[in-house]
Amino acid sequence: MKQFLLVFLGGGFGSIIRYYISKTLNPYYSNFYLGTFLVNIIGCLLIGLLIGLSLKQNYLTQNQTLLLATGFCGGFTTFSTFALEGNLLFKESSFLYASLYMGLSVAIGILAISLGIYISKML
């Protein structure tokens, strides 16, 4: 039961922070959802760091990994919003922006995870 509570608390905090960043940044960039983009990239970097640290012997406990990686990062990042916003850009015939938004999100997200794991090895 404690593990479910850790994921729940981490997810709640991650969701609140994601909502604030997206609400703050998205209205200023009508052709690119900058808030969601940044949240997903930062989340990828963070989860890379956390997973990298959890792989180090005794660096993060299983409960800390559940709270931060599964809970916080799971609530902070959002694939469903990313897919919805990509769909909206396509419906608006913003094919270039939709392609850039979706392509850059995936490519930079994967690079950010790799960077996070790399950084964690140096800590």
pLDDT 10s digits, 59-96: 889 999 999 999 999 999 989 889 999 999 999 999 99
Chain segment 94-108, per-residue pLDDT in tens: 999 999 999 999 999
Residue corresponding to tokens 């808030």: 35
- How far apart are the C-alpha atoms of 78 and 84, rounded to whole Å? 10
Taking a C-beta distance cutoff of 8 angstroms, is the pair 40, 82 a contact? yes
- C-alpha distances out from residue 56 to 48, 51, 121, Å: 13, 9, 8
In order of 27, 44, 74, 98, the CA distances from 68 in angstroms are 28, 12, 9, 30
User: Is 35 assigned a ligand-binding role in the annotation?
Assistant: no
Q: Is 43 assigned to a binding site?
A: no
Nearest 10 degrees: Cα torsion 83, 85, 90, 94:
-140
Q: What is the pTM of this model?
A: 0.88
Burial class (CB in 10 A: 0-12, 13-18, 19+), 90: middle
